[in-house]
Amino acid sequence: MDLQYLDSLARRWQVLGPPRGRPLALYVCGPTVYDQAHVGHARTYLLFDTVKRFFLAQGARVGHVQNITDFEDKLTRRALKLGVSWKELARREERSFVHDMASLGVIPPGWSPRSSDYVSGIIEAIRTLEKRKIAYRKGRSVYFDASAVPASGGNFSADAMLSAHAVPEPGQSAEPEAEDPRDFVLWKPSSPPSPVWPSPWGKGMPGWHLECYVMASSFLPLPLDLHGGGLDLMFPHHYAENLISYGLRRSPFSKGFLHGGFVTMGERKMSKSLGNLITIREALDEICAPALRWYVLSKSYRDGIEYLEMDARSTDAMWHDLQRTFHGLLDGTEAEGYPVERLERSFAKIPRALALDLDIPQALSALQATAADIQAFGRGGLDAGDRARGRKVLLRMQDLLGLPLMGHAGAPA
């Protein structure tokens, strides 16, 4: 079954099918590990977890790379404040992130490369760009020359991107030395306590955007089948990655781009720099992990969702009720209980909902409707002779949605 979705960069419908003879190439931009992950991160990674489960459930293989950005200016600033090195802080927060994702039942990526392990590849790529005159030096920095890439991305309009996204986020530094607002820094000078690497341009560190290109191409065939992350990465990060790919390979970085909408709190995007966030751990102190998954996925990936504690709590109550209902299907001694065919028929709607515009809200509604139908049937368990078949159906569904309907949800077999 194919997945139809709205490509957020190209602004057109795309169809993504399991490729023949090779795994699906999925690259999701990972976190910058400088502080605890928040509910906005949960939404992004749960969204791609669902995409992955959709293909795994069909028996397709998924080559999933998700990097760990372990150096960045804000990471250095926080490490300095805490009196630890950037590396110590990065490793600590990486462990915390991995722990949080496990708590949420996210299937770990196949590869989680750290950016700091790919600096030599990044330097190599900058040299190639320089040789092709797609990068220029300004002092001890190197910039990508967006005007030198003729198609300006090809699969989207750079000008439209710029006009739509030119307002910088608070705390995000502009690049005053660049010759053109579309240009971005590839290499910049640095000194301790920032990370420092030797390079043909002197001691320094890479800019942000090139790392994902280098890490993706180390593990996956390019162009990727699907590339994504949170909506805040669309510009400038994914725009820049795509230009880099045109500069290095004359083709897009990915055939498709998918972004998950923001989680907002009080009308603003949940973000560390804005100070309006709930960490995943704080949320999990209040509600259980499946309820958090349900709640943050209960709106279309294309829309934002406002995190309201009251709604999260009522999702938690609803989830426990629903889980009891599905648990109950395998209990009891009814000779004529809930027909397993009826369960199969309702569950068949769920992958179809996902296939059409990754409609997780619709899939969750179908699950709720099934639970309501079971409750209305009023006889609790499945037919005694149908239990084994029922268990299989329930297992399939919990693995597809990552929701432990009967217990722990694993990865689809």
Applying CB under 5 A, which part among 50-58, 90-98, 187-195, 205-213 lies near Zn ion? 205-213
Contacts 24+ apart (CB under 8 A), 136-141: 136/179, 137/201, 138/177, 138/178, 138/179, 139/177, 139/189, 140/188, 140/189, 140/201, 140/202, 140/204, 141/177, 141/185, 141/187, 141/188, 141/189, 141/201, 141/204
For Zn ion, the closer CB: 115 or 325: 115
| Candidate residues 39, 134, 212, 291; the one interacting with Zn ion per rule CB under 5 A | 212
Cβ within 8 Å of residue 201, ≥6 positions away: 137, 140, 141, 142, 187, 189
CB closer to Zn ion, 28 vs 280: 28
Sole window of 25-33, 58-66, 284-292, 367-375 interacting with Zn ion (rule: CB under 5 A): 25-33
Least distance to Zn ion from the beta carbon of 350, Å?
31
CB count within 10 Å of CB 59 equals 9
In 196-345, which ranges are E strands? 204-206, 226-230, 257-260, 263-265, 268-269, 305-306
Selected from 6, 16, 29, 354, the binder of Zn ion by CB under 5 A is 29
Rounded Cα–Cα distance for residues 265 and 47 (Å): 19
Which x/- pattern, by CB under 5 A, does the window 352-381 give for Zn ion?
------------------------------
Looking at beta carbons only, is 68 or 291 nearer to Zn ion? 68
Cβ atoms of 265 and 307 closer than 8 Å: yes
Give φ, ψ of 405 to 5 degrees: -65, -30
Residues 6+ apart with CB under 8 A from 114: 67, 68, 70, 90, 94
Q: What amino acid is encoded at 348 in this protein?
A: A
Task: State the nearest-atom distance from the C-beta of 212 to Zn ion, in Å.
Answer: 3
Site string for Zn ion, 245-264 (x = CB under 5 A): --------------------
Taking the complex as a whole, the smallest distance from the CB of residue 25 to Zn ion amounts, in Å, to: 15
- Name the residue nearer to Zn ion (CB basis): 29 or 312: 29
- Residue ranges in 322-341 that form contacts with Zn ion under rule CB under 5 A: none
Closer Cβ to Zn ion, 208 or 326, answer by number: 208
DSSP string, 119-139: HHHHHHHHHHHHHTTSEEEET
CB 101 within 8 A of CB 64: no
Q: Which stretch binds Zn ion (CB under 5 A): 35-43, 156-164, 212-220, 350-358?
A: 212-220
CB of 29 to Zn ion, least distance (A): 3
Min dist CB 239 to Zn ion, Å, is 11
Footprint (CB under 5 A) of Zn ion, residues 93-132:
none
| Cα 278 from Cα 219, distance rounded (Å) | 33
Tell me how far, at minimum, the Cβ of 237 lies from Zn ion, in Å: 5
Triad 187, 192, 198: Cα angle to 5°: 45
Using the minimum distance from each CB to Zn ion, give the nearer residue, 222 or 289. Answer: 222
With contacts defined by CB under 5 A, name the span among 21-29, 282-290, 303-311, 347-355 that binds Zn ion: 21-29
The CB-of-371 to Zn ion minimum distance in angstroms stands at 38
Which residue number, 64 or 293, has a Cβ lying nearer to Zn ion? 64
| Whole-number Å distance between alpha carbons of 291 and 295 | 6
Length of the chain: 413
CB of 113 to Zn ion, least distance (A): 11
C-beta of 212 vs 355, nearer to Zn ion: 212
Cα→Cα distances 16→202, 230, 312, 335, 356, Å: 43, 19, 32, 44, 11
CB 409 within 8 A of CB 102: no
Q: How far is the CB of 354 from Zn ion (least distance, A)?
A: 25
Site size toward Zn ion, by CB under 5 A? 2
Our CB check for Zn ion shows the closer of 46 and 212 to be 212
113 vs 390 by CB, closer to Zn ion: 113
CB of 366 within 8 A of CB of 353?
A: yes
- The interface region with Zn ion, picked from 6-14, 182-190, 210-218, 269-277 by CB under 5 A, is 210-218
Q: Which residues bind Zn ion (CB under 5 A)?
A: 29, 212
